[in-house]
Amino acid sequence: MTDDFHALPTDDSHADDLDGLEDGQLLHLNGADLYVEAVGLTGEDSDTPVVFLHGGPGYNSLSFRALFGERLEGMGRPVVYLDQRGSGRSGALEDTEQGADTLDLDTLVADLEALRAELGVNQLIPLGHGFGALIALEYARRHPTRAARAVVVNPWVHFPELAYTLLEEASAQRGVEVEDPAERVRAETPNGQYAPIGEARVEAAFELLNARDLLNTMQFRDPASRMHLEFTDAEGQLTGGGAVQEALVNQGLWEFEYPPFLQELRRPVFVIAGVHDRTSYPGQVGWVADLGGGEVTVLDAGHYPWLDDEDAFAEALEEALTR
């Protein structure tokens, strides 16, 4: 608990403060300035808000609210959009009290818990997309009394495996055989040290095909969806995220294997997967289904299913929030 973690007043001024969040505010929580937009919060504990956790890492929540917010807000629950620390409209990572070199999953989960307390709600429903799914799942594992359930969209949970998937696709695009550097890296790593296999795989993949082209090929159902998202991003005029990615990679992101922790989940988990998102489906989704007991709905969509079939995604999400 930090000095910034404080109880909200119990009078009507609390409700007024929450109303002001609809247009977005910076809240200083857990040592960071976090950008938050909240719709439908009254300060009462009767409604459990959905908190959207964007992917990237280092992206933002702007495009999701712009493209799908009206549908989500029409489902009868309060909705909170959070730009994670160092991302989007939140303060720069280097300006946080923890600094730019200490970003990890523990910190991101602590940020979410600090936000819950600040909003004055007993529980929340984390809705995590891509990398954000990792935060949603770990929050539900670590705070089972605070997470009513966890909903994840095209999750990433096993990063060495994801790195190999990227390498396979890059090799296929270049028409060459897959050369997995895992054996070489293990041989070169001193005894007692962890072999950075995931990072080596990613580097090999991006040497074959640049990151942007590779991810576009693997994540989008068609060029129209990609262009729609890029247009929305351009309108938002938000850039950056590189510092967040660099900090997480320096903390060993590409070596992180979350599946063992999935077995410790004690809250309901719902997965929405896009069959055209080869970064997540079927491999990453399978981990959450098999070890986390996640109930999976597969859509004819890519990494951003609200772009490809808004109605189908809305139906799947509403079912995940109410089932």
Query: Assign residue 47 a region: left if phi > 0, alpha if psi is -120 to 50, beta otherwise?
Result: beta
Summarised one tens digit per residue, pLDDT across range 161-185 is 999 999 999 999 999 999 999 999 9
What pLDDT is stored for residue 236 in this prediction?
A: 87
Summarised one tens digit per residue, pLDDT across range 69-121 is 999 999 999 999 999 999 999 999 999 999 988 899 999 999 999 999 999 99
| Element housing 153 (H / E) | strand 150-153
Summarised one tens digit per residue, pLDDT across range 247-305 is 999 999 999 999 999 999 999 999 999 999 999 999 999 999 999 999 999 999 999 99
Dihedral, 205, 207, 209, 215 alpha carbons, nearest 10: 50
Partner residues linked to 274 by β-bridges: 299
